[in-house]
C-alpha cells in the first residue's frame, strides 16, 4: 500500500518507508530519533498537498498514537490488518530472514513468549508473538486520540481480493480522486537468505547507513546513493523466495484461542464481522 500511495501524484510518501519516529518506546538502531532527520525524509515533497509514511510498528507502540497526535492532531491514520494466524508466521519468517529472530521454528518462537537471546539491539529480536497482533488493544489507543473519521481500517483479505477497491477507499478517505492508472502488483513476497555471512554484511551496511547523517555535499550524497544501490543489490541477490508452510490445525486453534478476546474487541471497534478469523 505504501508503494501504491507513493504513485499518486498528490501524495509525497517519505523517502524512507518506516522511520518509526513516533514509536520512541521501541528500541531499534534503525529507527529515526532526531526530528530534523525525520522531516528530511519529506524534503522531496514539492507542491504535493499530502505527505505520508509507512511505519508498521506504530500500532504496536504504546506511545506512537499520543506522539503523532501531539505532532499533528489533524493526521489521518491508515491501518491495514491481517488475520493473526496468517500475520504471525509471516512476520516471524521475515524476521528470520532479516536477522532479528534467532529461533527459526515459528512454533518454538511463539511458545518462547519473547524469552530468547537477543541477536541485536532491537525489540524485534525478542517479540512475544502471542501479543504482537492484538489489534483491538492497539487501535484503541488511536481511537482514544483521534476521531473515528480520522482513522481508516482495511483488512488484508480485502486487499488480496480487490486491491483496487481498497486503494480507492483509502484515496477517498484522504480526500483525493485516483486521478491515474495503477498496476496493483504483489510485493514483499516471503524470502529466505542464501548465505548468513552475506546477510550479516548486508545488515551491517544497512544499520550504518541508517545511523549516519545525510551528507552535506553533492559528492557525498552521490556516494551514499551508490552505496545504497549496491547494498540493495547484495540483499536482493542473497534472497530466495519461499512458500510458507501452513500451520498445523492444533497451532491454528491455539493462536485463535489466545487472540479470541482481542478479535472480538476489534470487531466491535471497526464494526465488521470477523467471525471468519475465529474459524
Q: Where are the alpha helices (DSSP H) in 105-239?
A: 106-112, 135-143, 156-161, 163-174, 196-211, 218-237
Instruction: Please tell me the predicted confidence (pLDDT) of residue 218.
Output: 72
* Segment-wise mean pLDDT, segments of 10 residues, the chain, 279 residues: 91 94 94 94 92 97 98 97 96 85 90 75 89 97 97 95 92 84 63 62 64 66 70 62 76 97 97 96
On whether both 173 and 196 belong to a single domain, the answer is: no
Instruction: Please tell me the predicted confidence (pLDDT) of residue 54.
Output: 96
On whether both 195 and 183 belong to a single domain, the answer is: no
Domain annotation covers residue 144? yes
Q: What SS3 class is residue 239?
A: strand
What is the CATH classification number for the domain harbouring 7? 3.40.50.300
CB-based burial label for 176 (10 Å; 0-12, 13-18, 19+): middle
Domain annotation covers residue 225? yes
pTM score, two decimals? 0.80
On whether both 166 and 62 belong to a single domain, the answer is: yes
On whether both 204 and 171 belong to a single domain, the answer is: no
Domain annotation covers residue 141? yes
Domain annotation covers residue 250? no
Dig out the grid coordinates for 95 from the structure: 524476521
Instruction: Please tell me the predicted confidence (pLDDT) of residue 239.
Output: 58
**Structural domain for 214, as ranges:** 191-241
- 79 — phi, psi (to 5°)? -120, 130
On whether both 89 and 20 belong to a single domain, the answer is: yes
Instruction: Please tell me the predicted confidence (pLDDT) of residue 141.
Output: 97
Instruction: Please tell me the predicted confidence (pLDDT) of residue 98.
Output: 79
Domain annotation covers residue 248? no
Structural domain count, the chain: 2
The span from the CA of 203 to the CA of 258, in Å, is: 33
Instruction: Please tell me the predicted confidence (pLDDT) of residue 154.
Output: 96
On whether both 93 and 29 belong to a single domain, the answer is: yes
On whether both 198 and 268 belong to a single domain, the answer is: no
Amino acid at each position: 500500500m505504501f508503494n501504491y500511495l507513493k504513485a499518486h501524484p498528490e501524495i509525497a510518501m517519505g523517502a524512507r518507508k518506516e522511520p518509526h519516529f513516533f514509536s520512541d518506546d521501541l528500541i531499534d538502531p534503525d529507527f529515526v530519533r532526531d526530528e530534523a532527520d525525520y522531516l528530511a525524509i519529506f524534503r522531496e515533497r514539492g507542491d504535493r498537498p499530502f505527505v505520508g509514511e509507512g511505519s508498521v510498528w506504530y500500532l504496536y507502540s504504546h506511545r506512537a498514537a499520543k506522539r503523532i497526535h501531539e505532532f499533528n492532531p489533524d493526521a489521518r491514520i491508515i491501518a491495514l490488518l491481517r488475520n493473526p494466524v496468517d500475520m504471525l508466521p509471516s512476520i516471524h519468517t521475515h524476521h528470520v530472514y532479516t536477522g532479528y529472530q534467532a529461533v527459526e521454528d515459528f512454533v518454538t518462537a511463539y511458545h518462547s513468549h519473547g524469552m530468547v537471546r537477543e541477536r541485536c539491539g532491537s525489540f524485534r529480536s525478542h517479540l512475544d508473538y502471542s501479543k504482537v497482533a492484538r489489534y483491538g488493544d492497539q487501535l484503541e489507543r488511536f481511537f482514544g486520540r483521534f476521531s473515528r473519521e480520522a482513522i481508516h481500517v482495511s483488512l488484508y483479505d480485502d486487499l488480496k481480493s480487490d486491491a483496487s477497491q481498497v486503494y480507492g477507499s483509502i484515496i477517498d478517505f484522504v480526500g483525493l480522486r485516483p486521478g491515474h492508472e495503477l498496476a496493483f502488483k504483489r510485493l514483499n513476497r516471503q524470502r529466505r537468505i542464501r548465505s548468513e555471512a552475506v546477510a550479516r554484511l548486508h545488515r551491517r551496511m544497512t544499520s550504518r547507513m541508517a545511523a549516519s547523517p545525510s551528507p552535506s555535499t553533492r559528492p557525498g550524497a552521490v556516494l551514499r546513493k551508490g552505496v545504497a544501490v549496491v547494498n540493495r543489490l547484495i540483499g536482493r541477490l542473497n534472497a530466495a523466495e519461499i512458500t510458507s508452510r501452513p500451520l498445523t490445525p492444533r497451532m491454528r486453534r491455539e493462536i485463535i484461542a489466545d487472540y479470541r478476546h482481542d478479535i472480538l474487541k476489534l470487531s466491535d471497534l471497526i464494526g465488521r464481522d470477523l467471525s471468519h478469523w475465529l474459524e
